Amino acid sequence: QLNKSCSKPQMFCEPLRFWGQSKQEVAGRRHTLPASEFRSLSPEDAISVFEIEREAFISVSGECPLHLDEVRHFLTLCPELSLGWFEEGRLVAFIIGSLWDQERLTMDALTLHKPHGATVHIHVLAVHRTFRQQGKGSILMWRYLQYLRCLPYVRRAVLMCEDFLVPFYQKSGFKALGPTEITVGPLNFIEMFYPVRGHAFMRRNSGC
């Protein structure tokens, strides 16, 4: 049985490729930092993650989805459910997720990782301020969802967001479930889901 809490499958079920580069370009850069790299995050990335998250969310809503200790918590328990986008070795965007075992999100879902769950709760997606308005958030989400299709224990992905972000996630294939019972300060959220196991054709053709 696959140990879901500590397994670390190869990202995207294929050798890592650098976005927008040919094999020749990759070979030529062998002794330098890759121009663009996607990989799972580790606890050592926590400070960089939190700095991007804090700037992205505090200015808009006044609240961070994850505090620094919670970032470290999830990157220790389930690093395989995170994804970072690095440019020249610098983190520019990331997603952090964990496993959940109920139909709908509750307050416990904000801080717990349920190793036997079949739902990936996406806690946060954030892009560094100097790399926004370039489509990086959508690209990163697409790659993350592609990766989830390769994990046999994942049935769906869920997240919660404010009203104004619903169209962004709908473009990635998420559907709204309606208001969530979770509130953070004055903020209310819409819960959204993505049926990972519902894309059998895409799984068959993705190399999983």
Is CATH 3.40.1710.10 the classification given to domain 35-156? Answer: no
For residue range 100-113, what is the model confidence (pLDDT) as tens digits?
999 999 999 999 99
Question: pLDDT value at position 129?
Answer: 86
Q: Where are the domains of the chain?
A: 35-156
Please check the confidence at residue 3 and state whether its pLDDT lies above 70.
no
Please check the confidence at residue 121 and state whether its pLDDT lies above 70.
yes
What's the token pair of residue 154? 């994942």
For residue range 8-51, what is the model confidence (pLDDT) as tens digits?
434 455 433 334 444 444 444 455 566 889 999 999 999 999 99
- Its sign, for the CA torsion 66, 56, 89, 144, is positive
Nearest partner of 85 among 131, 23, 31, 36, judged by Cα: 36
> Catalytic amino acids?
98, 112, 123, 125, 169
